[in-house]
Chains A and B, each alone.
Chain A
């Protein structure tokens, strides 16, 4: 079936299978930041933003994004030109194996879009659905708070 949607700022007009998970579609489109972890919505590795809200792409079907805007990490920044939020993760040492990082960055991005001065508890709540087996979360929370500070200072684009 035909699906029209916006992926990272660009229009897409595609044929998709009715039962195709959004996660599979995005990876086929080269969005390799979207990871398959648990495939049951528990780990958060497949998180993307749909119309500005963080969702689990493993629990969504591709046809559900008809007419919607999808943002993956690829739409946020690049290796050569990282988003300040990504740079905050690097500067804070909040990345180890990196598998959870795209989901972490995107749930943090959703939080900071609506709240540029979150408390540690609010950051912890925002990332609570994303599992990290490496960092112990402290540096991830530090990174989000650093990015929030940069946003308040007008250093976000």
Chain B
């Protein structure tokens, strides 16, 4: 284990103090919530560590028919929360149960996963699929869909801002999450979060996201459009699988090859859609 190079540690009392400290350190300060990524990095990158676990951002509750999760809420706290368990048939908990292992879930926070945004992460793919909105405090208060943040320079934003809350909208339908890793608790080689709403026997809305391609999870709008207005049936799921396998953008990395990812992306989307449609039809 190497020396961390951290010279100062601050326990921030509120968001304002955290922002003030972050600003004072310039690029040498870092916000600490779960901390599962911070100490894995090379030493000497962080001069001042600013602990934000005591600034009142650890809570989960219903909001506007959906769910609001404070940024420093740990994954375990979310998993044990009744409102989170009930949200859209339990999709958030279905995802979080597949993130890492219990001791790391005891430490990791939803805001940390949002900001770290590992391309193989289960959470970014799900945030995008579920249409989550992120709120933050920097020089000004801001909010944006996670999907929009990930398309921009979000890492630069969170060097001078504190993510405060993640809002999950209500959905009249159901979602399902599929993931493939080398082992049950390993990071994803590929993942997919899909949702559908069914009205009058046809798909009224659809959300299809694929992550760890190896890039971070993104929605596939063309797959969603192909689903809307269609009657849920076995052949439809097969057609979407073929569509995804034909059009999804994938790549190689040291974990998996593009050929495997292209094929498997279609399979995961089909599996997720079948389960989501079953749940939505109940």
> A-side interface residues toward B, CB under 8 Å?
1, 18-21, 23-24, 36, 39-41, 44, 47, 53-56, 58-61, 63-64, 66, 107, 110, 125-126, 128-129
Contact = CB atoms under 8 A, between A and B. Distances in A.
Interface string B1-32: 11111111101000000000000000000001
Contacts of A1: 9
Contacts of B32: 61, 64
A40 B40 contact: yes
Interface of B: 1-9, 11, 32, 35-36, 38-40, 49, 51, 53, 76, 100-104, 106-107, 184-185
A128 B101 contact: yes
Contact of A107 (B3, B39, B103): B103
B11 A59 contact: no
B36 A61 contact: no
23 contacts: A1-B9, A19-B3, A19-B6, A19-B7, A21-B4, A24-B1, A39-B2, A41-B40, A41-B104, A44-B101, A53-B76, A55-B103, A55-B106, A56-B104, A56-B107, A58-B39, A59-B107, A60-B39, A61-B49, A64-B32, A66-B11, A128-B185, A129-B101
Contacts of A55: 103, 106-107
A61 B1 contact: no
A1 B10 CA distance: 10
Contacts of A128: 101-102, 184-185
Contacts of A107: 102-103
Given A18-B9, A55-B107, 15 more contacts: A19-B9, A21-B39, A36-B1, A39-B1, A41-B36, A44-B103, A53-B76, A53-B106, A59-B35, A59-B39, A61-B39, A107-B102, A128-B101, A129-B101, A129-B185
A60 B106 CA distance: 12
B106 A54 contact: yes
Contacts of B38: 59
A43 to B, nearest CB: 11
B35 A61 contact: yes
A56 B107 CA distance: 8
B51 A63 contact: yes
Nearest to B11: A66
A9 B280 CA distance: 50
A37 to B, nearest CB: 10
Contacts of A36: 1
B40 A63 contact: no
A60 B101 contact: no
B40 A59 contact: yes
A23 B1 contact: yes
The 5 closest A-B pairs by CB, nearest first: A129-B101, A19-B6, A18-B9, A19-B4, A39-B1
Nearest to A53: B106
Nearest to A103: B103
Contacts of B5: 19
Nearest to B8: A18
Nearest to A58: B1
Given A23-B1, A128-B185, A129-B185, A61 B104 contact: no
**Highest count of chain A CB atoms <10 Å: which of B38, B102, B104:** B102
A40 B41 CA distance: 9
Contacts of B2: 39
A128 B102 CA distance: 8
B103 A56 contact: yes
